[in-house]
């Protein structure tokens, strides 16, 4: 056949087409040649000569479809209300497929005639004037549109009512008298019938079906919740509600369009969770205190999606952790209080961290609560003027790093130290910890009691990571001094060898930088060296002064230690002791008894501190006193019967222990350091800001110092006052609440 436009008789051709589309739309058999002929008939009508007859064809087709759908409407209703959905679905499946075929048959009309009139995407998006003004649609779309107006419009309400009943039935009886396919197909037909639209595809579905459905479901949930509430059992209720939500989601997935899923679960949560928060909360405290994991996890799942509902749960958890923490570290009254403190606290921390991971899926809010709880527990003062936690933690680290910690492998020590950082991070007074830690480190280094240098350095690096370079710089300098001293010892020994000098003893020395070591204001005591030591000390001082010009050495006798061989007993013993102890014992070289006064005079030591050393010698039974209290007249003699299973031991441990005075001294020096730190911070801030309001200044100072400690406002005020006295800053003339920097 020719594609050339020709004269066509419309009525005759339309007649043929109408017969065929009747077959197409009802999915009847249409033979291929006939289909082909009708396809070309559509073409020839569209290009007919002299006038194309496309518009007429369109109008006739539309009329045909309208008539067809109204016939179907009658048929759908014929079988009665009971099977309305079923027959609707039956005819809909037929019609929707048939209309697609019809669409193909009219391909030429669609593409050449209609699409050219259609609005472009851009016109739709940017909202060109009128979209519905009698415009022609593609045949497939036309068919759907006709269905909507001819079928859904008159039947919609009735269908929806039946659908809701069907779903209600599914809810209560778990079965559905109407096949699920039909229900689902009918519901989805509301979406499909608008599927061709570029926007608002879901509008019909939402207005016609979803809204009443959600309302109905809401009522249902309310009733359900009321029923469940009667049992007054929170954990059972939560379980039921969780199951209910699951079930409703499954149902929604079976029946509804995917866009409704979240709306259904939200509706469910509103009616079953949000409206009964009081009820859920009523057992919240008990649950948390009992640590009922399953209940808590249910509670979390339910509350998660309700806005602001979690706050109370979080607070309860926080309080609980706090109570547990305080209980764990509150009443420790053992000898090793520091170890118990750290281990109990870590126990609490780990337990609740695990709980939060397990039950609350590591929710950030709960992690935050854990942090807050731990930091308030760790910084709790238990009615004492200062918080003891930094001290305990430092002691704990000391115990681990010291040589004496037996039976623990290196990796275990490392692990424990790593864990202690967790607690360190919560400590507010990090500077107090640093003071204690550095004192203990100093003692470990000087008395050669470090277990392993690697462990020491690893620990310092951890602290550096947590608190920054400034925090550990002094600790690093102590390490440097140790290596410098080792070098110095080598050089000194080489020098001795070169000059052929024999000191008579094994001599080694630590030379430390005065500022870097936390050794307190050690009062340099007058002290006469035992004869055996004189030469060594003299030689070294000469050596040092020749080598380093302009430096002054100060001996710290209380830190020096000696190893003394005791030859007066049955066995010979090697005893490590402190220099004053050694000097005392050496006095007995040529005599067996001396009075306390004589000893003091020959050593030129002041009484108070020497008291401790002498007493320690009596305590370990190397000396015998003839009275229990040390008086100047007390006679001391060597214990010739001394016996000890071990032949090598140390007796300076007692002297090395931190005395209460030392602890107090540490606290005082912390206080002083804080003042300096705050003043420096204030001057820095004022120098850059020139003029600043009181509150703003306090805030900035607080922010800067937060890394190492939490200063009290009072202390900051005091520092501001003292800086005003020193004329670094002054109050501005027009306001007492404002300061300016004095250049």
Partner 1 sequence: MKLTIKNWTGVATWRWVANDDNCGICRMPFDGCCPDCKLPGDDCPLVWGQCSHCFHMHCIVKWLQSQPVNQQCPMCRQGWKFNNK
Q: Cα torsion at 464, 468, 474, 476 (round to 10°)?
A: 40
Q: Which of 45, 60, 43 is nearest to 111 (CA)?
A: 43
Contact with partner 1 (CB under 8 A): which of 66, 306, 387, 586? Answer: 586
537 binds partner 1 (CB under 8 A): yes
CB 287 within 8 A of CB 299: yes
Contact with partner 1 (CB under 8 A): which of 87, 324, 536, 679? Answer: 536
What order do you get walking across the sheet with 635-638 strand by strand? Answer: 593-595, 635-638, 623-625
d(CA 158, CA 84): 9
Q: Which of 54, 55, 56, 38 is nearest to 1 (CA)?
A: 38
Contact with partner 1 (CB under 8 A): which of 88, 106, 471, 540? Answer: 540
Whichever of 325 and 530 has its CB closer to partner 1, that residue is 530
Q: Which residues pair with 649 in a beta bridge?
A: 575
Whichever of 362 and 542 has its CB closer to partner 1, that residue is 542
Contact with partner 1 (CB under 8 A): which of 567, 608, 657, 727? Answer: 567
Cis bond before residue 50 (omega within 30° of 0): yes
Stretch that binds partner 1, among 113-121, 190-198, 253-261, 581-589 (CB under 8 A): 581-589
Site for partner 1 in 619-678 (CB under 8 A): 638
CB 41 within 8 A of CB 13: yes
Stretch that binds partner 1, among 21-29, 167-175, 564-572, 665-673 (CB under 8 A): 564-572
539 binds partner 1 (CB under 8 A): no
Stretch that binds partner 1, among 26-34, 349-357, 431-439, 560-568 (CB under 8 A): 560-568
Helix 261-272, helix 211-229: angle, nearest 10: 30
Q: Minimal distance in Å, beta carbon 417 to partner 1?
A: 26
The stretches of 283-388 forming alpha helices (DSSP H) are: 284-290, 293-304, 310-330, 337-359, 364-378
CA 240, distance to chain mean position in Å, is 31
DSSP state at residue 450:
B
3-state secondary structure of 738: strand
Q: Minimal distance in Å, beta carbon 670 to partner 1?
A: 21
| Residue-by-residue DSSP string for 33-80 | HHHHHHHHHHHHHHT-SSS--HHHHHHHHHHHHHHHHHHHHHHHHHTT
* Separation in Å, CA 524 to CA 11, 518, 520, 527: 128, 15, 11, 9
CB atoms within 10 A of CB 548: 12
Q: Minimal distance in Å, beta carbon 532 to partner 1?
A: 5
3-state secondary structure of 740: strand
690 binds partner 1 (CB under 8 A): no
Site string for partner 1, 436-455 (x = CB under 8 A): ----------x-x-------
Collect contacts of 592-598 with beta carbons under 8 A, ≥24 apart: 592/637, 592/638, 592/640, 593/635, 593/636, 593/637, 593/638, 594/635, 594/636, 594/637, 595/632, 595/633, 595/634, 595/635, 595/636, 596/630, 596/631, 596/632, 596/633, 596/634, 596/635, 596/636, 597/632, 597/633
- Enclosing H/E stretch for 144: helix 139-147
Q: Minimal distance in Å, beta carbon 561 to partner 1?
A: 5
Q: How many residues bind partner 1 (CB under 8 A)?
A: 54
Q: Minimal distance in Å, beta carbon 402 to partner 1?
A: 18
Q: Which of 129, 224, 209 is nearest to 171 (CA)?
A: 224
Number of residues written out for the chain: 743
Whichever of 21 and 638 has its CB closer to partner 1, that residue is 638
* Separation in Å, CA 82 to CA 77, 92, 148, 173, 283: 10, 17, 22, 18, 48
507 binds partner 1 (CB under 8 A): yes
* Separation in Å, CA 571 to CA 289, 576, 645: 63, 16, 10
Contact with partner 1 (CB under 8 A): which of 532, 656, 704, 740? Answer: 532
Q: Minimal distance in Å, beta carbon 463 to partner 1?
A: 17
Whichever of 326 and 556 has its CB closer to partner 1, that residue is 556
Site for partner 1 in 384-443 (CB under 8 A): none
551 binds partner 1 (CB under 8 A): yes
Q: Minimal distance in Å, beta carbon 681 to partner 1?
A: 17
Stretch that binds partner 1, among 345-353, 390-398, 531-539, 668-676 (CB under 8 A): 531-539
Structure tokens at 556: 């710290």
Q: Minimal distance in Å, beta carbon 292 to partner 1?
A: 55
Stretch that binds partner 1, among 29-37, 246-254, 293-301, 577-585 (CB under 8 A): 577-585
Q: Minimal distance in Å, beta carbon 517 to partner 1?
A: 7
Stretch that binds partner 1, among 87-95, 151-159, 450-458, 543-551 (CB under 8 A): 543-551
d(CA 542, CA 534): 12
Contact with partner 1 (CB under 8 A): which of 148, 340, 508, 656? Answer: 508
Contact with partner 1 (CB under 8 A): which of 549, 628, 714, 727? Answer: 549
Whichever of 560 and 663 has its CB closer to partner 1, that residue is 560
Q: Minimal distance in Å, beta carbon 538 to partner 1?
A: 12
CB atoms within 10 A of CB 505: 12
CB 561 within 8 A of CB 576: yes
Indicate if the alpha-carbon torsion angle 177, 178, 184, 188 is positive or negative: negative
Site string for partner 1, 450-479 (x = CB under 8 A): -----------------------x---x--
Stretch that binds partner 1, among 79-87, 231-239, 385-393, 500-508 (CB under 8 A): 500-508
Residues 6+ apart with CB under 8 A from 142: 61, 62, 65, 136
Q: Minimal distance in Å, beta carbon 480 to partner 1?
A: 8
Whichever of 459 and 482 has its CB closer to partner 1, that residue is 482
d(CA 565, CA 571): 10
Q: Minimal distance in Å, beta carbon 644 to partner 1?
A: 16
CB 451 within 8 A of CB 403: yes
171 binds partner 1 (CB under 8 A): no
Whichever of 534 and 664 has its CB closer to partner 1, that residue is 534
Stretch that binds partner 1, among 187-195, 267-275, 334-342, 505-513 (CB under 8 A): 505-513
Whichever of 146 and 440 has its CB closer to partner 1, that residue is 440
CB 616 within 8 A of CB 655: yes
3-state secondary structure of 525: coil
Q: Minimal distance in Å, beta carbon 541 to partner 1?
A: 9
Q: Using alpha carbons only, how large is the chain's radius of gyration in Å?
A: 47
Q: Minimal distance in Å, beta carbon 375 to partner 1?
A: 31
Site string for partner 1, 259-288 (x = CB under 8 A): ------------------------------
d(CA 361, CA 356): 6
CB 109 within 8 A of CB 139: yes
Q: Minimal distance in Å, beta carbon 741 to partner 1?
A: 19
Site for partner 1 in 509-528 (CB under 8 A): 509-517, 519
Q: Minimal distance in Å, beta carbon 742 to partner 1?
A: 18
496 binds partner 1 (CB under 8 A): no
Q: Minimal distance in Å, beta carbon 590 to partner 1?
A: 9
Stretch that binds partner 1, among 359-367, 384-392, 401-409, 583-591 (CB under 8 A): 583-591
Kindly list the residues in this chain that would bind partner 1 in the complex (CB under 8 A): 446, 448, 473, 477, 484, 504-517, 519, 530, 532-533, 536-537, 540, 544, 548-556, 559-568, 574, 579, 582, 585-586, 588-589, 638
């Amino acid at each position: 056949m020719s594609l050339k436009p020709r004269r066509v008789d419309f009525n005759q051709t339309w007649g043929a087409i109408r017969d065929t589309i009747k077959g197409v739309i009802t999915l009847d058999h249409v033979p291929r040649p006939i289909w082909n002929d009708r396809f070309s008939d559509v073409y020839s009508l569209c290009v007919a000569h002299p006038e194309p007859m496309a518009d007429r064809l369109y109008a006739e087709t539309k009329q045909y479809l309208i008539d067809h759908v109204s016939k179907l409407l009658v048929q759908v209703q014929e079988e009665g209300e009971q099977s309305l959905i079923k027959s609707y679905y039956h005819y809909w499946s037929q019609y929707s497929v048939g209309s697609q075929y019809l669409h193909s048959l009219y391909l030429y009309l669609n593409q050449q005639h209609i699409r050219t009139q259609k609005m472009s995407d851009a016109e739709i998006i940017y909202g060109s004037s009128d979209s519905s003004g009698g415009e022609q649609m593609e045949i497939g779309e036309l068919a759907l549109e006709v269905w909507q107006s001819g079928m859904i419009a008159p039947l919609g309400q009735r269908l929806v009512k039946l659908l809701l009943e069907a779903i209600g039935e599914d809810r209560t009886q778990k079965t559905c008298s109407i096949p699920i396919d039909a229900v689902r197909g009918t519901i989805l037909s509301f979406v499909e019938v608008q599927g061709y639209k570029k926007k608002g595809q879901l509008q019909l579905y939402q207005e016609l079906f979803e809204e009443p459905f959600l309302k109905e479901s809401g009522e249902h949930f309310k009733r359900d919740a009321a029923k469940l509430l009667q049992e007054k059992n929170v954990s059972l209720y939560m379980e039921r509600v969780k199951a209910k939500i699951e079930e409703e989601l499954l149902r929604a997935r079976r029946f509804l369009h995917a866009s409704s899923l979240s709306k259904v679960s939200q509706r469910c949560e509103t009616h079953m969770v949000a409206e009964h928060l009081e009820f859920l909360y009523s057992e919240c405290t008990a649950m948390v205190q009992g640590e009922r994991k399953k209940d808590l996890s249910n509670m979390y799942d339910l509350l998660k999606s309700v806005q602001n509902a979690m706050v109370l749960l979080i607070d309860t958890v926080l309080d609980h952790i706090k109570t547990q923490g305080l209980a764990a570290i509150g009443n420790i009254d053992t000898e090793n209080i520091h170890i118990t403190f750290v281990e109990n606290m870590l126990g609490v921390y780990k337990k609740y961290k695990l709980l939060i991971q397990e039950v609350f899926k590591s929710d950030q809010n709960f992690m935050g609560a854990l942090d807050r709880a731990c930091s308030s527990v760790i910084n709790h003062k238990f009615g004492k003027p200062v918080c003891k936690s930094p001290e305990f933690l430092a002691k704990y680290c000391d115990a681990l790093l010291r040589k004496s910690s037996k039976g623990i492998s290196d990796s275990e020590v490392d692990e424990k130290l790593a864990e202690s950082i967790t607690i360190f991070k919560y400590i507010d007074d990090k500077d107090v910890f640093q003071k204690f830690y550095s004192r203990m480190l100093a003692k470990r280094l000087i008395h050669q009691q470090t277990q392993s240098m690697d462990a020491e350095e690893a620990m310092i690096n951890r602290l550096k990571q947590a608190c920054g370079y400034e925090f550990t710089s002094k600790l690093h300098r102590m390490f440097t001094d140790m290596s410098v001293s080792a070098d110095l010892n080598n050089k000194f020994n080489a020098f001795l060898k070169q000059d052929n000098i024999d000191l008579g003893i094994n001599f080694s020395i630590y030379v430390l930088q005065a500022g870097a070591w936390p050794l307190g204001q050690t009062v340099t005591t007058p002290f006469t060296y035992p004869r055996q030591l004189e030469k060594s000390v003299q030689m070294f001082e000469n050596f040092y002064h020749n080598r380093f010009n302009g430096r002054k050495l100060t001996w710290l006798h209380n830190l020096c230690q000696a190893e003394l061989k005791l030859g007066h007993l049955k066995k010979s013993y090697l005893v490590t002791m402190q220099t004053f102890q050694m000097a005392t014992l050496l006095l007995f070289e040529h005599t067996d008894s001396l009075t306390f006064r004589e000893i003091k005079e020959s050593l030129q030591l002041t009484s108070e501190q020497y008291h401790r050393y002498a007493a320690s010698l009596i305590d370990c039974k190397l000396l015998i006193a003839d009275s229990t209290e040390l008086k100047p007249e007390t006679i001391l003699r060597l214990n010739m019967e001394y016996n000890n299973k071990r032949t090598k031991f140390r007796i300076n441990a007692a002297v090395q222990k931190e005395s209460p005075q030392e602890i107090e001294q540490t606290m005082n020096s912390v206080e002083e350091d804080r003042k300096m730190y705050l003043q420096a911070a204030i001057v820095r801030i004022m120098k850059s800001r020139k003029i600043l309001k009181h509150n703003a200044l306090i805030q900035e100072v607080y922010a800067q110092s937060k890394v190492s400690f939490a200063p009290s406002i009072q202390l900051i005020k005091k520092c501001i006052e003292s800086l005003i006295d020193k004329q670094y800053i002054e109050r501005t003339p027009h306001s007492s609440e404002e300061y300016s920097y004095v250049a």
